[in-house]
Amino acid sequence: MFRPIPALLALLLLGACAQATVAPLAPPAPGQPAAERLPAPAQIVVERFALHPSQVTLDSAPLLRAQRAVSGDDRAARRTAAEEAVAGFQTALVAALRERGLAAVPAAEASPATPRLLVRGRFSALEEGNRARRTVVGFGLGASRVAGTAMLAFQDSATTEPRQVDSFALDADSGRMPGGVLGAGRGAGMVVAGTAIRGAAGEVRGPQEIGALARGTADRIVAYATAQGWR
């Protein structure tokens, strides 16, 4: 009989599976002057990242492909996957920033207060891979992946345009852990940082890479805030 993994153990396992990289897009050149010192922002506003459905690769499991072919909902499935990934990343990033002591809010809840730091970006790929292969075999087979870019923009006042102050590349995959670590029985499911991860029998939406990238992005923002003397 399937026994659910305790929540803490499950979170640790999922975190170990996903491998995330958050790297500067333009590292400072040797001898380049230090970045401009900015006043501490009243809030950090996390916008919804862009992700076009055409950049989504759905789960390649034969059964899921056949179901989509019969229902003819391939385009709708890509759109839903994109929407859920974008929403999941925004929710996870806001939560990760708050856990690190920063006053972060989703854009829809932002106040007019300035100055503020804006977090915006775009995903260039969401590859669901093959959940069944990852669950049963693992070791990189059926790997899922999320990639994109993020930018930090600082807005001094309501009458000034935000200006870019940092940018970085985002990339995460499901790693090479052996299969079976989640004990994925039929109907197994959990929620990690606002992102759903369904069992092997269901379609994958918002893979754990979203949560890993959110944590990596939050760490990058914390590093920027520390360098600015905001913490």
Cis peptide upstream of residue 115 (ω within 30 degrees of 0): yes
Angle at 193 between CA 189 and CA 199, to 5 degrees: 15
Q: Specify whether the CB–CB gap between 91 and 111 falls below 8 A.
A: no
- Dist. CA 8–CA 87, nearest whole Å: 23
Specify the pTM: 0.72
Does position 152 have pLDDT exceeding 60, yes or no?
yes
**pLDDT tens profile 9-30:** 343 344 445 678 888 886 555 5
Structure confidence at residue 36 (pLDDT): 77
**pLDDT tens profile 28-87:** 555 444 567 899 999 999 999 999 999 988 865 545 554 555 556 678 888 988 999 999
Q: Answer with the residue of higher pLDDT: 81 or 93.
A: 93
- Dist. CA 18–CA 144, nearest whole Å: 9
- Dist. CA 69–CA 94, nearest whole Å: 37
Give the residue among 170, 50, 186, 38 at the shortest CA–CA distance from 115: 38
Give the residue among 174, 164, 225 at the shortest CA–CA distance from 19: 174
**Class of residue 202 by CB neighbours under 10 A (exposed 0-12, middle 13-18, buried 19+):** middle
